């Protein structure tokens, strides 16, 4: 993973993915939160969101929809970091857990300390299909 400067990726978008809806938080390089909300976890809605943003760093946790969302964000010119959920104790062990807070945490860590997210590399599609077939 490279460490682009603020000129390359001026914003960071944290996405807390859900099967039906996903919370998002957009952070400027200064740390200011500029957009927050919820969007449907559907390809059309995600494409509209990613297409309307300047090149950004998109941070999401590894989950069921993370593969296609990561591919979609990459195709729109964004850098994608897939965070290892087992390493994010601040999120997974929180007693005051909300989707909005999780999106904020992902955006903040992605903006200022992406290495702490312990990024993972998603398996190739062929590998994923083979593993699903074997399971």
Question: Per-residue confidence at 113, pLDDT binned at 50, 70, 90?
Answer: confident
Cβ-Cβ contacts under 8 Å for 108 (sequence gap 6 or more)? 12, 14, 27, 31
Question: Per-residue confidence at 10, pLDDT binned at 50, 70, 90?
Answer: confident
- CA torsion angle 97 98 104 105 (round to 10): 20
Burial environment of residue 85 by CB neighbours within 10 A (0 to 12, 13 to 18, 19 or more): middle
pLDDT at 5 over 80: no
Give me the pLDDT at residue 130, please. Answer: 65
Give me the pLDDT at residue 60, please. Answer: 92
Give me the pLDDT at residue 27, please. Answer: 94
Cβ-Cβ contacts under 8 Å for 28 (sequence gap 6 or more)? 10, 11, 34
pLDDT tens, residue by residue, 66-98: 889 999 999 999 999 999 877 776 666 666 778
pLDDT tens, residue by residue, 30-74: 889 999 999 999 999 999 999 999 999 999 988 888 889 999 999
Give me the pLDDT at residue 90, please. Answer: 62
Give start and end residues of each alpha helix (H) in the chain. 43-52, 66-75, 89-92, 99-112, 125-134
Question: Six-digit token pair at 96?
Answer: 């005051």
For residues 53 and 26, the answer to whether their CB atoms sit within 8 Å is yes
116, β-bridge pairs: none
């Amino acid at each position: 993973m490279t460490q682009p400067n603020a000129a390359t990726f001026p914003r960071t978008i944290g996405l807390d993915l859900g099967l039906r809806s996903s919370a998002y938080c957009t952070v400027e390089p200064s740390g200011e939160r500029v957009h927050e909300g919820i969007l449907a976890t559907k390809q059309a809605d995600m494409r509209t969101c990613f297409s309307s943003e300047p090149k950004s760093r998109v941070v999401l946790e590894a989950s069921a929809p993370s593969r296609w969302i990561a591919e979609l964000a990459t195709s729109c010119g964004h850098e994608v970091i897939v965070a290892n959920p087992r390493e994010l104790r601040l999120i997974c062990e929180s007693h005051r857990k909300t989707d909005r807070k999780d999106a904020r945490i992902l955006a903040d860590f992605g903006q200022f300390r992406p290495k702490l997210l312990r990024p993972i590399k998603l398996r190739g599609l062929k590998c994923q299909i083979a593993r699903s077939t074997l399971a």
